[in-house]
């Protein structure tokens, strides 16, 4: 448990709260960063779009976070089993 700003104890780590606030700010700012709507003219694709690269990066980050959490979980279980 960690202390939050109000002095009471919280089950949510402070780093998680900060990262979720950053994610929310990024989500709210994303419409301002969007391109203009489609003009109706079809252009041939010559390379991946920025959204394709962002999707691949987010998928890789998600896999990294999940694997890290699973490693920590199983290491904790192993340590608890070794104590018994």
Q: Where are the alpha helices (DSSP H) in the chain?
A: 14-33, 50-83
CA distances from 44 to 11, 56, 59 (A): 51, 21, 26
Question: Of residues 38 and 14, which shows the higher confidence score?
Answer: 14
49, 57 Cβ separation under 8 angstroms: no
Tell me what pLDDT residue 6 has. Answer: 57
End-to-end CA, the chain: 24
CA distance 18 to 7: 17
This prediction has a pTM of 0.48
Bridge partners (DSSP) of residue 3 are: 9
pLDDT tens profile 22-74: 999 888 887 777 777 777 888 888 988 899 999 999 999 999 999 999 999 99
Tell me what pLDDT residue 57 has. Answer: 96
- Band of residue 10 on the pLDDT scale cut at 50, 70, 90: low
């Amino acid at each position: 448990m960690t202390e939050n700003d109000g002095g009471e104890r919280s089950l949510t780590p402070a780093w998680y709260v900060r990262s979720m606030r950053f994610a929310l700010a990024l989500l709210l700012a994303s419409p301002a960063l969007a391109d203009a709507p489609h003009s109706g003219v079809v252009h041939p694709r010559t390379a991946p779009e920025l959204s394709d690269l962002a999707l691949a990066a987010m998928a890789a980050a998600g896999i990294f976070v999940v694997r890290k959490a699973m490693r920590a979980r199983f290491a904790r279980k192993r340590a608890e089993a070794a104590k018994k």
